[in-house]
Amino acid sequence: MTDEPGGAVQTAKCLTQELIRRPDVETTLFGHQALSDEFGTDVESKGYLSRSQFFGVGWERTVLPLLARRHDIDILFCPNANAPLHRTPYPVVTYIHDVGAMHDWSSSVHGLYRKTTVPRVADVSDRIVTVSAFSRDEIVEQLGVDPARVNVVHNGINKRFLSDKPGEPIEVPDQFVLYVGALNPGRTSPDS
């Protein structure tokens, strides 16, 4: 859990919310109990004793796979690349937004963590979902993943950016700032 989540975490949160809303999908949410308020649903949080991000990462790698097995789930969807590091008896679908850490575009601790875990996660996941053909190609090249196991699912548009009246434009103020980059400095283009 982070105070100001970036794009990959925002995407994970939106995907989770939409899965919970679907009447044709039975969803079990695993994580810290605080997620119950955020997503308006029950959360399986056994053993999640601390809200710290460090503790959460350890919990996702050790306790989550056991809880998922006990719940007899059909699929474990890991929306921010924090999937089990070993094969599981249930299919695992992992959302890997990008492989920026492999290019040293992340802070030292986060980059080291991602360089260590994401290749293993990619290896043991049954399917990988990513945001673009570019990211898919990088996952295949950087992580040695069979391209047939990587699916591109483009990010959707948040409802707040859509007009309530189809065909009518969204009202945009005369002056605004549109920023489409990342907040961390290492995420700029390697050519810039």
In the chain, what percentage of residues exceed pLDDT 70? 88
Q: Is 111 exposed, middle or buried (0-12, 13-18, 19+ CB in 10 A)?
A: middle
Report helix, strand or coil for 163: coil
Is residue 146 one of the residues assigned to a domain? yes
Is residue 46 within 8 A of residue 64, CB to CB? The reply is no
Is residue 76 one of the residues assigned to a domain? yes
d(CA 57, CA 32): 11
Is residue 39 one of the residues assigned to a domain? yes
Q: What is the pLDDT of residues 152-169, one digit of tens each?
A: 998 877 776 676 777 677
Is residue 99 one of the residues assigned to a domain? yes
Structure tokens at 88: 């599981």
State which residues form the domain around 115: 7-187
d(CA 5, CA 140): 26
Q: What is the pLDDT of residues 42-56, one digit of tens each?
A: 999 999 998 888 898
Domain total for the chain?
A: 1
Is residue 1 one of the residues assigned to a domain? no
Is residue 44 one of the residues assigned to a domain? yes
pLDDT at 66 over 70: yes
Where residue 27 sits, what CATH number does that domain have? 3.40.50
In this structure, what are the phi and psi dihedrals at residue 181, rounded to the nearest 5 degrees? Answer: -105, -170
Is residue 2 one of the residues assigned to a domain? no
Distances, alpha carbon 95 to alpha carbons 34, 70, 165, 173, 174, in Å: 22, 23, 32, 34, 37
pLDDT at 189 over 80: no
Report helix, strand or coil for 110: helix
Torsion sign across C-alpha atoms 108, 79, 88, 126: negative
Q: What's the whole-model pTM score? A: 0.80
Is residue 130 within 8 A of residue 150, CB to CB? The reply is yes
d(CA 81, CA 102): 14
Is residue 192 one of the residues assigned to a domain? no
In this prediction, residue 171 carries a pLDDT of 75
Q: What is the pLDDT of residues 79-124, one digit of tens each?
A: 888 899 999 999 999 999 888 877 777 777 877 888 889 999 999 9
